[in-house]
Amino acid sequence: MKDDMMTDDTPPPQAQTVAGVANAERGLVILDGPDGVAVTMTPEAAFGTGQSLIAAAAAARYQRPDDTA
């Protein structure tokens, strides 16, 4: 994250509790998230993102919300 995006007095972002929904359209993957957020990715980028999300979710299950590591 860039240093100019958050300051010490900026509240941390709220964690989303609703999963995003992915769809394949015209050879691309579109991930629809909360609040109208949408990300369009190549299949390769989506695959890598999916693997990274699964690994991070597995690690996060064993962390407390206030852990920084």
The Cβ of residue 31 has, within 10 Å, a number of other Cβ atoms equal to 17
54 domain-assigned: yes
Place of tokens 């999916």: 50
Confidence (pTM): 0.70
69 domain-assigned: no
pLDDT value at residue 10? 82
65 domain-assigned: no
11 domain-assigned: no
pLDDT value at residue 44? 98
pLDDT value at residue 7? 62
- Model pLDDT for residues 29-67, shown as the tens digit of each residue: 999 998 889 999 999 999 999 999 999 999 999 997 775
Query: Residue 1 above 70 pLDDT?
Result: no
Q: How many domains is the chain partitioned into structurally?
A: 1
50 domain-assigned: yes
Domain residue limits at 46: 22-60
49 domain-assigned: yes
> Is the alpha carbon torsion for 34, 38, 43, 47 positive or negative?
negative
